[in-house]
Amino acid sequence: MTRLKTIIGKEFVDILRDKRTIITMIVMPLVAVPLLITIMAKVTQSQENKAKSMTADVAFIGREYAPDLYDLMEADSQFTLVEGIEAANLDSLVRDGSLDGAVVVGPDFGERVAGGVRATVEMYFRSSSSFNVTEGRIRDAVEAYDQTIVDERVVRMDLNPDLFDAIEVVPRDVSTMKEVLGKNVGGFLPYMFVIFMFTGAMYAGIDLSAGEKERGTLETLLSSPASRLEIVLGKFVVVAAVGIASALISMTGLYVAVRFGFEEIPEEIMEVVWEVLNVKVIAMIASLLLPLAAFFSALILALAVQAKSFREAQSTLTPLSIVVILPVVIGILPGMELNAVTALVPILNVSLATKDVIAGTIDPLYLSLAYISLFALASASIAFCVFWFNREETLFRS
């Protein structure tokens, strides 16, 4: 045990001397996360406000057939109605941005409206444009005009207005704000935790295996009284600790971003956020990250020790980050829930369990299955790592 403690202390000293590890473990999650999230939020909000404040240039073809609709849109400060546009050119003009949208009314529009028959209005827009504001504006204008026609018909024919709304739907959302927040935002958290955990553990693992081979210090460590198992466990503990520290620091970065970067979030939502981020929730999320960190650390060490240099190990492990992130991305997809099957899928179970933990809807059975799966995987990966460290051809590959 004394030798193991000595090895762990030695590896911690080595890691803290490595600038790359310090940057990926502390600087990136603590500084980059709140900075990026805040910038993204500010830019998105700014672009949305800009799009909503701009006047939409809309062509109106068929003014003589629907003068009331034209007058309604002309009086709306959100529109600038463009004259002299040919109908045949609308597609290209809207597509290339010369026009924000267009409204086309056919010659039979007035006749059909007067006869109590449904009339047609064509609406041109580009859904790929910024926030698709124009479509919503035109639709609102047409619907407002449609309602005036319906109201006039009801009065003229002395009808009961309820004839046109036979059923009133009264929504009763039984989901709490906490559940909504957990399901919609909770999926993003594992993505951030996992990527920073893996990245932090990767650089530490490479430095303590391939890096030591490159520096020529691994042979010195192997010649010490410590057993191979103690050496592996010492390196494993340090790499796992770095991975967990990266994840926890990213949590701190997220807290800083939410606390100081989003002044426009309604107070009632912020109250729910602080209710969600309590000690119990954070402890449960951390407990899910522990076995995952063990799996990452053992796998990284096993693969990195086979490389001859830091660069070779880095080129081997970097593509693995895509494989690691894929289950987290799947967990964000709509319809993905934690069940008896997904609870057994590594990384995916962490993503789904995190959403349920934050929402307060976690099933103890599925959570237990997720723990069993993660600890089994961590144990297998540690055994795999020890196996590779016991192979002379792996340690002394040149």
Segments in 262-336 forming alpha helices (H): 267-276, 279-304, 310-317, 320-332
99-129, pLDDT tens digit by residue?
Answer: 888 999 989 988 888 888 888 899 998 887 6
137-160: buried (b, 16+ CB within 10 Å) or exposed (e) per residue? bbeebbeebeeeeeeeeeeeeeee
Residues 93 and 210 occupy one common structural domain: no
The residue from 136, 164, 192 where one domain ends is: 164
Percent of the chain with pLDDT over 90: 3
Written as six digits, the tokens of 150 are: 């319906």
Written as six digits, the tokens of 95 are: 């597509």
The residue from 164, 195, 211 where one domain ends is: 164
Structure letter (DSSP) for residue 29: I
Q: What values do phi and psi take at 58, rounded to 5? A: -125, 130
**Higher per-residue confidence, 145 vs 41:** 145
CB count within 10 Å of CB 129 equals 16
Q: Mean pLDDT of all residues in the chain?
A: 78
Q: How confident is the model at residue 398 (pLDDT cuts 50, 70, 90)?
A: low
Residues 151 and 187 occupy one common structural domain: no
Q: How confident is the model at residue 175 (pLDDT cuts 50, 70, 90)?
A: low
- Does 44 map to a domain? no
Q: What is the CA angle 207-210-216, rounded to 5?
A: 95
Q: The pTM is what?
A: 0.66
Confidence at residue 286, expressed as pLDDT on a 0 to 100 scale: 79
Confidence at residue 172, expressed as pLDDT on a 0 to 100 scale: 74
| Domain that residue 104 falls in | 55-164
265-305, pLDDT tens digit by residue?
Answer: 556 555 556 666 667 777 887 788 888 888 888 888 888 87
Average pLDDT of 201-207? 84
CB count within 10 Å of CB 294 equals 24
Q: What is the C-alpha to C-alpha distance for residues 389 and 227, in angstroms, rounded to an integer? A: 11
Average pLDDT of 213-221? 71
8 Å CB contact between 90 and 62: no
- Does 363 map to a domain? yes
Q: What is the C-alpha to C-alpha distance for residues 129 and 125, in angstroms, rounded to an integer? A: 9
Residues 89 and 157 occupy one common structural domain: yes
**Higher per-residue confidence, 302 vs 391:** 302
**Higher per-residue confidence, 100 vs 159:** 100
Q: What is the C-alpha to C-alpha distance for residues 22 and 325, in angstroms, rounded to an integer? A: 22
